[in-house]
């Protein structure tokens, strides 16, 4: 299909994703967005992006909205991603976790849950399995299907490329061909919910001690990056830590954060 045929619909979809979800597809990523929308066209049997945009902008097309969000969001992840950042986080987190009766951790843009489960595994490895009784981890993502997969806790072998076999044997059980499911004691620590990071302010009445927001900010434009980081700031208790990825920096977005190490920042007040 020629891009010029449905360019108006394409632009409407791109604008909707930016305004509704904070997901930016600049001109350099136009072809990527078109590829991702192809699966939505096939699912709903739409002829072109003009027809998809028409449904997307209607007031009663929630199933289309969810499908577009899911197709546009980035859901590729794996266990123990960026281990240097994770190891440093655990070093910093241990005193807080030991001192408190309950520690709240939020994995924003959690995808299928690998990050949330990784955090729990690493804290249990450092402090012993009993620590799982005093930590609560919330994972949120804009995509309903990936949240459902996170809750199910079943992962294919390819997600464990960076995982030690002994860790797999301790925290996962084989289920089907080259698939593993998280053990119940780990699943009980992690709760998953659908949430749009663009929908601010966030609906939390109690602060978190630690927030992970990794590999998502660079899909937002700068205004949404700044607004998201500001909202995260208010969800942390003073002294709490925000963990981003090694490829993302927030130093130009909010100068109230104290840089601790690569990808880790502290709320200063």
pLDDT at 215: 81
pLDDT at 3: 55
pLDDT at 245: 84
Contacts 24+ apart (CB under 8 A), 175-183: 179/154, 179/155, 180/154, 180/155, 181/152, 181/153, 181/154, 181/155, 182/117, 182/153, 182/154, 182/155
CATH number at residue 51: 1.10.155
1: in domain:
no
Q: Which of 22, 41, 72 is the last residue of a domain?
A: 72
pLDDT at 1: 47
pLDDT at 76: 65
Say yes or no: 34 and 108 in one domain: no
Say yes or no: 261 and 131 in one domain: yes
Q: How many domains does the chain contain in total?
A: 2
pLDDT at 52: 94
pLDDT at 249: 79
- Residue in this structure with the two tokens 């806790």, named with its chain if needed: 153
Say yes or no: 202 and 240 in one domain: yes
Smallest CA-to-CA distance from 259 within 269, 235, 26, 249 is with: 249
**Which residue ranges in the chain fall short of pLDDT 70?**
1-5, 22, 59, 74-76
Domain assignment of residue 36, given as a range = 7-72
């Amino acid at each position: 299909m020629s891009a010029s045929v449905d360019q108006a619909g394409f632009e409407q979809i791109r604008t909707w994703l930016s305004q509704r979800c904070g997901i930016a597809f600049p001109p350099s990523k136009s072809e990527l967005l078109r590829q991702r929308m192809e699966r939505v066209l096939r699912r709903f049997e739409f002829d072109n992006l003009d027809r998809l945009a028409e449904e997307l902008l209607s007031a009663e097309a929630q199933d289309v909205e969810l499908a577009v969000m899911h197709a546009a969001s980035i859901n590729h992840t794996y266990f123990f991603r960026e281990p240097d950042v994770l190891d440093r986080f655990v070093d910093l987190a241990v005193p807080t976790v030991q001192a408190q009766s309950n520690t709240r951790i939020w994995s924003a843009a959690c995808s299928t849950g690998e990050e949330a489960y990784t955090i729990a595994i690493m804290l249990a490895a450092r402090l012993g399995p009993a620590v799982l009784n005093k930590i609560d981890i919330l994972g949120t993502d804009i995509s309903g299907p990936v949240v459902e997969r996170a809750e199910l806790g079943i992962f294919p072998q390819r997600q464990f490329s960076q995982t030690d076999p002994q860790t797999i044997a301790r925290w996962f059980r084989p289920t089907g061909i080259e698939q593993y499911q998280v053990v119940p004691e780990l699943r009980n620590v992690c709760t998953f919910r659908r949430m749009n990071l663009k929908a601010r302010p966030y609906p939390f009445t109690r602060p978190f001690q630690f927030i992970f927001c990794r590999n998502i900010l660079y899909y937002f434009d700068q205004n949404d990056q700044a607004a998201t980081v500001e909202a995260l700031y208010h969800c942390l208790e003073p002294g709490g830590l925000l963990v981003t990825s090694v490829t993302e920096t927030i130093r130009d977005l909010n100068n109230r954060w104290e840089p601790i190490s690569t990808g880790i920042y502290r709320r200063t007040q």
